[in-house]
Amino acid sequence: MTALSYGGWCILRPEKGEDLTMPDEPATASIDRALATKIVGAYVRRNQIAPDQLAVLISTVHEALVRLGKPAESVGSARTPAITIRRSVQHDRVTCLDCGWAGSMLRRHLTTSHRLTPDEYRARWNLPHYCRIPKRVEIG
């Protein structure tokens, strides 16, 4: 890459045949294969492996490299709450179903500790929208 200055600006011009891909771009299949062979080669140098297991090892490493940077698949396991849903709402406090925290304001706890919005929390636990009842205020 050649740097040129023009009117106070620095302009970078690539050389012929220079690779201009960004480091955070997804890897191509050839790079995945090359990296998989390096990883498998390093593993086989230090560990004994049966010849019939070599193909399984190569495919497993290659699949793991292809999955890098992609979101993890959600596991279908059911969540278990820290407290029963019925007991989570009391007249003086509300309890978080994720961790069991008890306090008077669940929204702040959800955003700071779990980085969830109230709608995401309701969707996670399949909760209905509760009626918001204001505190009693004595007039006069």
CATH number of the domain encompassing residue 116? 1.10.10.1550
For residue 44, the enclosing domain spans 27-69
In the prediction, which pLDDT does 134 show? 43
pLDDT tens-digit readout, 38-76: 888 888 899 888 888 888 888 888 888 888 877 766 555
Amino acid at position 4, single letter: L
Give the Cα separation of 21 and 13 in Å (integer): 14
- For residue 4, tell me if it sits in a domain: no
Predicted TM-score (pTM) above 0.85: no
User: Is there a single domain that holds both residue 35 and residue 63?
Assistant: yes
Contact criterion met (CB below 8 Å) for 87 and 77? no
102 has a pLDDT exceeding 80: yes
**How many domains in the chain?**
2
